[in-house]
C-alpha cells in the first residue's frame, strides 16, 4: 500500500517538476526503504502525535504501519529532491534525508505545541509580518485576504519546489546553522517585504497569488538580511 503511495507521489510531484524530474530514480531509492525504517519512529518521542497502527486478525492485535510511522503524502518527495544535487550515492542520500526528517521536517506536517511545528511557524509568520510590515498586513486583511494562505505551502515544504534548488539548499544550511525551522517564517516575511510595492496595489486573492507565484528568481541570503539586519 505505501509503495503505491510513494510511486504515485513521485509521479505527481518529482516527475512533473522541471528542476527535479531527473532525480525520480533516486527518490524511489530513498522513499521506499524509508517507509520500512523503524528507526524513524524515534521522532514520535518528541511529538504529540502517535504512529498509525494496523489491526491484525484479532482486535487487540495491532502494529505500527508503515514501520516508519510515516504515511507518504502529496509533496513528501520535496524533502528529498534538493539533496539529490549534493549526493549521488543513494546510501548517503538516504542517511542525510532520514536525519533531516527526524530532526526537523516531521515538524512541518505534525500538529504540535512546539514553536517549530507548522502551527507555531505560521503564528510566527503572522506576528513578524504584522510587526515588520504592518502596511501590507492590514492592507491584505482589510481586503479579506489571509496572508498565511499563500505561505502555508512554502513552510510545509521548507520552500522546496518553490525556490531554485541552490537557494533551497542555502536555506536548509541555515536551518542547520541556527538549529531551528523559524528561519522559514522569517524568509516568508522577507518575500512579502520584497514584493511590498506590488502587494499594496492589489486587493484580490488572485492578484496576490500572481505576485507570489514565481519565487525562483529570489536569492535568500539578501532577503534574509533585509529582515534580520535592517530596521523596519
Residue boundaries of the structural domains of the chain: 2-103, 118-228
DSSP-derived 3-state class of residue 152? helix
The fraction of the chain above a pLDDT of 90, given in percent, is 66
What's the pLDDT band for 11 if we cut at 50, 70, 90? confident
Average pLDDT rounded to a whole number, residues 12-23 = 86
Q: Which residue is listed with cell 526528517?
A: 101
- 132-181 pLDDT per residue, tens: 999 999 999 999 999 999 999 999 999 999 999 999 999 999 999 999 99
What sign results for the dihedral spanned by CA atoms 32, 33, 36, 41?
A: negative
Rounded to the nearest angstrom, the gap between the alpha carbon of residue 225 and the centroid of all alpha carbons in its chain is 21
pLDDT band at 9 (very low <50, low <70, confident <90, very high): confident
Q: At the top level of CATH, which class does the domain 118-228 belong to?
A: mainly alpha
Q: State residue 44's pLDDT score.
A: 63
Q: Which residue has the cell 539529490?
A: 84
Among 32-41, 48-57, 114-123, 189-198, which stretch is predicted with the lowest mean pLDDT?
Answer: 48-57
State the DSSP string of 27-64: HHHHHHHHTT-GGGGGGGGGSS----EEE-SSTT-EEE
Amino acid at each position: 500500500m505505501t509503495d503505491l503511495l510513494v510511486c504515485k507521489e513521485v509521479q505527481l510531484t518529482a516527475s512533473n517538476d522541471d528542476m527535479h524530474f531527473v532525480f525520480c530514480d533516486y527518490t524511489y531509492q530513498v522513499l521506499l526503504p524509508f517507509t520500512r525504517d523503524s528507526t524513524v519512529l524515534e521522532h514520535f518521542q518528541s511529538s504529540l502525535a502517535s504512529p498509525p497502527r494496523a489491526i491484525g486478525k484479532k482486535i487487540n492485535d495491532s502494529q505500527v504501519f508503515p514501520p516508519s510511522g510515516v504515511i507518504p503524502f502529496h509533496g513528501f518527495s520535496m524533502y528529498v529532491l534538493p539533496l539529490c544535487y549534493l549526493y549521488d550515492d543513494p546510501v548517503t542520500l538516504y542517511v542525510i534525508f532520514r536525519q533531516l526528517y527526524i530532526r526537523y521536517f516531521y515538524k512541518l506536517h505534525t500538529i504540535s505545541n512546539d514553536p517549530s511545528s507548522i502551527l507555531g511557524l505560521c503564528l510566527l509568520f503572522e506576528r513578524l509580518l504584522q510587526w515588520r510590515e504592518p502596511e501590507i498586513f492590514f492592507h491584505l486583511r482589510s481586503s479579506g485576504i489571509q496572508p498565511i494562505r499563500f505561505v502555508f505551502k512554502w513552510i510545509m515544504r521548507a520552500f522546496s519546489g518553490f525556490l531554485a534548488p541552490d537557494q533551497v539548499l542555502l536555506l536548509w544550511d541555515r536551518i542547520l546553522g541556527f538549529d531551528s525551522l523559524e528561519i522559514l517564517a522569517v524568509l516568508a516575511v522577507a518575500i512579502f517585504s520584497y514584493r511590498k510595492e506590488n502587494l499594496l496595489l492589489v486587493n484580490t486573492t488572485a492578484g496576490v497569488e500572481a505576485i507570489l507565484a514565481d519565487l525562483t528568481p529570489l536569492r535568500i541570503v539578501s532577503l534574509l538580511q533585509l529582515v534580520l539586519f535592517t530596521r523596519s
